[in-house]
Each structure stands twice: as structure tokens, then as C-alpha cells.
Amino acid sequence: MATVEVKKRDGLARTGILTLGEEIVRLPGVLDAEDLFPDLADRSFSNVPLTAPGAFAAACLSPSKGQPVTVHPALTSTASSGDCVMVANWNTALGNPRNYTEWLVRLKEHLPPDTAWYAPGAALPSNVHILCYSGFDLFDFIAVDLKTAQHRFCLPEGEFPAEIMDTGVCGCEGCREGDLKTHNRLALGHEIALVTRFIADQQLREFVEARSRMEAAHVAILRHLDNCYSFIEQHLPVARSGRLGAMSGDALKRPEVRRFAGRVLSRYLPPPADVAVLLPCSARKPYSTSQSHRKFSDAIGGRALELIVTSPLGLVPRELERIYPAAHYDIPVTGYWDREELAFTAGIVADFLKKHPFRRVIAHLEGGALETARMAAAIAGISLEESCSIRPAAGDSLRNLGSLLDGERQVRQDSVHGTLSWQFGIDVDTRGMIVRWKPPNLSVKKGKEPLFSLDPGTGLLRPTFAGWKFIPGVYRVRIDDFVPQGDILVPGVITADPAIREGDEVLVEGSLALATGRAAMSASGMEASARGVAVRVRKVLKE
């Protein structure tokens, strides 16, 4: 009997526990395969090339008896929840990023999400980061032992001649004793431990981007996976606990960035306004806590919709500045915008201005951000007013901005309406709601009844049972006939709204009780898994 219990997710990567009979293996992990799978060496017809067509693979691949269950991208697998699946020859896929991605997506879409993935003979300290990022959990020492036989010294940065051991680049037990095999095995174990730490912190993408710069194929795999947006997005949490490091141009294609920008364009409902002011971003987040943005807001005086132009997110309405990743991203500030940044950001700004026509658009910008606004105005076919004489925060520029807004009417700012539209994709009637704001806490009531509170870590709103009445029909999880006594486990889930992602606020509905909480996995994971927590429950209401 095999079981897989996922403890923490970061995209496709997981930490957890694989139980095989009396054996317990922490994931991701590395071990001698013969210790965990003693009959694997004697199993015939399991080493079919990944490039083999379906007919050949079906004829040659021997049905698996026991663990691990052999799978192939050209075949429909019979693996069940809790199985350990083995993808033979996955080391050969690393050299072809396009095939790597196509095979991975095909396998992931047809296998239960709570299976452990074993890549035999594939893991090295220099590639295990991309393997874990792709959703592989279990590895062996075959690849590093082969490198030892070839007199190669393994590091996360690559494989080097064995003589490098004497140069002091590593001080592990193997290096101290002149034992290359021990060093190579320890290096792999150390790298997996480091990956595990970054998964737990939900910072694996940042770690993988840094490591991948040493190998072109790994960068290509990242980019191909990012291009599979509809697949990868459903595995990503709606918000993370840490920062989003946008340290390279690849950040423009990150699914979290695309999701935020997509919701700004497709979901977000701005308040009625005749005038929009385009503002620069700031190093401090949320923007309104920075000195420059306090000056901008004072000059605007509530007479226009405030829109922040920034890379890599494109456009951040003031109402959404606390939502992940708008308040959580970090970029290297140089003042230089390359052509890809300009085109990406201008496209988002132009689409927003075309969807929400304003009588006037004022660009209170300089440098690359101003060039972006000019490009967007040309694309949208609108005229652009410019208010900066020198720097945006300079006195003359602020006075120009204030003068341009003379006589304009006040805009009814509604951060609750804007946030709810972005978060749940519906138009919520917020008339009569009273907002109490004492940073970093926000509460929303109607009369004396609490409706929503702010999660200061993510910027998302947490509905009460009364608040959910204003959000009909979406982000629901249907459960069986029981009263939750704690978190909702997967076996109790009947259906879930396909829009649900890990970290989303959800309403749990059952015939005996209602519950509010946060999704611990995506809707597809809730419906396809056999084990694990589906919803972290905050409150329960018996029917």
C-alpha cells in the first residue's frame, strides 16, 4: 500500500511524505533505488525511450506490478492516487526543452496530483532544481555515481574535473577525505535540502531562476513552462507569503504576473472617473506608504483615478496596490526600460485605456515609464497630457499636476469594490458599506454586521458568512453531509468551483453546515486527489 501526503506546495514542486509499506520517505528526497525498490533492477521492459510512439510503447512497456508504476508520455497511465510513478529516461529529456515541457504537461494532466514522481538516473546537483520545479519528488544516486566513475566533481554550478577537489571549493566530509563518490552524493543531498527549504518558503522560482543561469536548457524549460500558462497557472497559489523577485526579463512571462495583469484587464471594475493619472512606481510597497506617492495623492486630491505604471506588472490601480504581487515584488532599479518591457507594459496600459475610456489621461511620469505611456496612448488612439517638468516628485511637477486637475470632480474611491471585482470576478454592490481602515487592518461592515476583513499579508479580502451573501455563486466548495470539526479534507469534497486556486477565500457548503476558509489546493486538486487538506477552515456555521 502506497500513500503520498503533500505538506507544502510551490507550483508543481511539493514537500511531503511517501509511505511504501513500512518505508517512509521525505519528499523531495534521494536514496539508493534498490533500497526502496529492490525488484526494480529485475523488472524487464520498463526502459522504453520517451520518444517512442504510442504503439511501440504499448507493445514493449511491461505492466507494472507494485511500486513504482512505470508511465510514458505516449500512453494512458493506470496509476492511482498514492502511487509512486517512474518516468524512465527522463534524463534524456533535459537536453530538449520543448519535448521536456510537452511530455511533462501531458503526464501531469493525466496523472492524479497526489502521486510521487521518480526520475531514475537523472538527478545531479546542477539539475535537481529544475527537476523539482517540474514536479519530480524522488531521485537516486545513479547519475552522480556515474559522474564519479567518469572522475567528475559535481557542484550546483556544473561538473568539473576531479582535481578541483583539492582547490578548497568544498569542505564536505568527502572532500576532506579525498572521497569523490561521497562528495558527489553529499552535494546532491545538500542541493535537494536547499530546494526543500525554498519550497517551504514559496520562493522556489527565484532560486531556480538563479540556478538556471548556468545552463541554457534550464532557462529554456522555464520559458516553455511559462508559455503553458493555462496549465501552470492552476498550480500556482493566488498569493504567496514572500516576495516575487523580478530580477530578469523572464519575470514578464511569469504566470503570477500574467494572472495579475489579466485580472486587471478582465475582472477589475474601476470607480466612475473622467480623468486618469498615470503615476510611476516606488521602491517602497505598498506605493501609498512611500513619500513620493503621498505627494502625488495630495496633488491629485481625489480628482482622478490613480494608476501606477510599473514593470513587470504593467498597471496597478491604486485600489489594488496591496494585493499580491503588487505589494510584494522586487525589481532592480536602473531607470532603463528595454524594448520588451516597454512593449509589454504599453500593451497592458493601452488595453486598459481602451476598455475604460477616460475624458482625459494625464501622464505624471518620466523616463521609460513616460515612453511606455506615450506608446500606450498611440496604440489606444487617445491624446496624452504630460505634467512633469522635471522629476515627478519635484515641486514644479506636483504643482503642474494639481493645476491640470483644477475644476475636475471628485472620484468616489472604493477599494472594497475594486478588490472584490479583482478577487472574485463579480460586481459587488458596496452601497451602504462602512469601511474602517487602521493600517494594516481594514474591516467592512453594513450597519453593525461585519462583512469583510483584510488579510494584510496578501491584500485579499476575507468574507464573513454575511459577506458571502454579496458574492453569489462563485468560489464555492461543495462537501458531503457532515459538520466540519477542523480543516476540510479532500475525501469530503464533492465539487469545487474551477476558478479556485490555492490561497483563495472560499465558502464551503454542505447540507449540515457552512464554513469559511482558505483553499489549500486548487479546485482540480480537490477533485482529483485522494488525500490532503482541501480547505483551511476559519469558521463553521451549522445549518
Residue 328 has what pLDDT? 93
Q: Is the dihedral of CA 17, 19, 20, 22 positive or negative?
A: positive
Q: What's the rounded Cα separation, in Å, for the pair 41 and 512? A: 52
Q: What is the pLDDT of residues 20-66, one digit of tens each?
A: 988 899 999 999 988 888 888 888 788 899 999 999 999 888 777 78
Residue 269 has what pLDDT? 97
Residue 450, strand partner residues: 445
Residue 81 has what pLDDT? 94
Residue type, 422: W
- Counting residues of the chain whose pLDDT is more than 90, the rounded percentage is 88
Q: What is the mean pLDDT of residues 159-174?
A: 95
Q: What's the rounded Cα separation, in Å, for the pair 402 and 344? A: 30
Residue 333 has what pLDDT? 81
* Residue 85 φ/ψ, nearest 5 degrees: -105, 145
Residue 249 has what pLDDT? 87
The cell numbers describing 384, all together, are 496624452
Q: What is the mean pLDDT of residues 305-320?
A: 97
Helices (H), 201-331: 204-212, 216-227, 229-233, 255-266, 291-300
Q: What is the pLDDT of residues 84-137, one digit of tens each?
A: 999 999 999 999 999 999 999 999 999 999 999 999 999 999 999 999 999 999
Q: Is the pLDDT of residue 306 over 90?
A: yes
The Cα-based distances of 19 to 6, 37, 84, 444 in angstroms read: 11, 12, 9, 46
Residue whose cell numbers read 507493445: 59
Q: What is the mean pLDDT of residues 214-230?
A: 96
Q: Is the pLDDT of residue 229 over 80?
A: yes
Residue 29 has what pLDDT? 97
Q: What is the mean pLDDT of residues 406-432?
A: 96
Residue 332 has what pLDDT? 87
Q: What is the pLDDT of residues 247-276, one digit of tens each?
A: 888 999 999 999 999 999 999 999 999 999
Residue 287 has what pLDDT? 96
Q: Is the pLDDT of residue 240 over 90?
A: no
Question: Among 292, 239, 308, 274, which residue's Cα sits nearest to residue 459?
Answer: 239
Residue whose cell numbers read 486630491: 301
Q: What is the mean pLDDT of residues 219-243?
A: 94
Residue 437 has what pLDDT? 85
- Which H or E element spans position 192? helix 180-200
Q: What is the pLDDT of residues 136-145, one digit of tens each?
A: 999 999 999 9
Question: Among 378, 327, 322, which residue's Cα sits nearest to residue 353?
Answer: 378
Residue 49 has what pLDDT? 92
Whole-model pTM: value is 0.94
Residue 460 has what pLDDT? 96
Q: Is the pLDDT of residue 354 over 80?
A: yes
Q: What is the mean pLDDT of residues 359-372?
A: 96
Q: What is the mean pLDDT of residues 380-388?
A: 96
Question: Among 116, 129, 134, 136, which residue's Cα sits nearest to residue 25?
Answer: 116
Q: Is the pLDDT of residue 19 over 90?
A: yes
Q: What's the rounded Cα separation, in Å, for the pair 421 and 91? A: 45
Do 507 and 464 contact (CB within 8 A), yes or no? no
Q: What is the pLDDT of residues 516-527, one digit of tens each?
A: 999 999 999 999
**Helix/strand/coil percent split, the chain, to 5:** 35, 20, 40
Confidence of residue 220 (pLDDT cuts 50, 70, 90): very high
Residue whose cell numbers read 469530503: 492
Averaged confidence pLDDT in the chain: 95
- Counting residues of the chain whose pLDDT is more than 70, the rounded percentage is 100
Q: Is the pLDDT of residue 406 over 90?
A: yes
